[in-house]
Amino acid sequence: MPTTSIMPIIKVPDPILRQRALPVSEITDGTRQLIEDMVATMYDAPGIGLAAPQVNIGQRIIVMDCGKKEEPNLIQMINPEITGISEAHTVLEEGCLSIPDQTADVERPAEVEVKYLNQDGMSQSLVATGLLAACVQHEIDHLNGVLFIDHISRLKRDMILRRVMKELRKSTVDK
Ligand code: NI
pLDDT tens, residue by residue, 91-105: 999 999 999 999 999
| pLDDT tens digits for range 16-73 | 999 999 999 999 999 999 999 999 999 999 999 999 999 999 999 999 999 988 899 9
CA of 19 to the centre of ligand 1 (A): 14
Mean pLDDT rounded to a whole number for the chain: 96
- Asked if the model's pLDDT at residue 112 lies above 80, the reply is yes
CA of 140 to the centre of ligand 1 (A): 9
| pLDDT tens digits for range 124-152 | 999 999 999 999 999 999 999 999 999 99
Long-range contacts of 144-148 (CB under 8 A, 24+ apart): 144/20, 144/21, 145/17, 145/18, 145/19, 145/20, 145/53, 147/12, 147/17, 147/96, 147/98, 147/99, 148/94, 148/95, 148/96, 148/99, 148/104, 148/106
Q: Looking at the DSSP assignment, which residues form a beta bridge with residue 116?
A: 124
pTM: 0.95
Say whether 139 is catalytic: yes
CA of 1 to the centre of ligand 1 (A): 30
- Asked if the model's pLDDT at residue 175 lies above 60, the reply is no
CA of 47 to the centre of ligand 1 (A): 9
Residues with CB under 5 A from ligand 1 (ion): 96
What's the pLDDT at 174? Answer: 66
What's the pLDDT at 172? Answer: 74
The closest of 123, 45, 111 to 77, measured between CA atoms, is 123
- Asked if the model's pLDDT at residue 2 lies above 70, the reply is no
Which of 36, 81, 139, 167 is the catalytic position?
139
| pLDDT tens digits for range 118-128 | 999 999 999 99
CA of 99 to the centre of ligand 1 (A): 7
pLDDT tier for residue 171 given thresholds of 50, 70 and 90: confident
CA of 78 to the centre of ligand 1 (A): 17
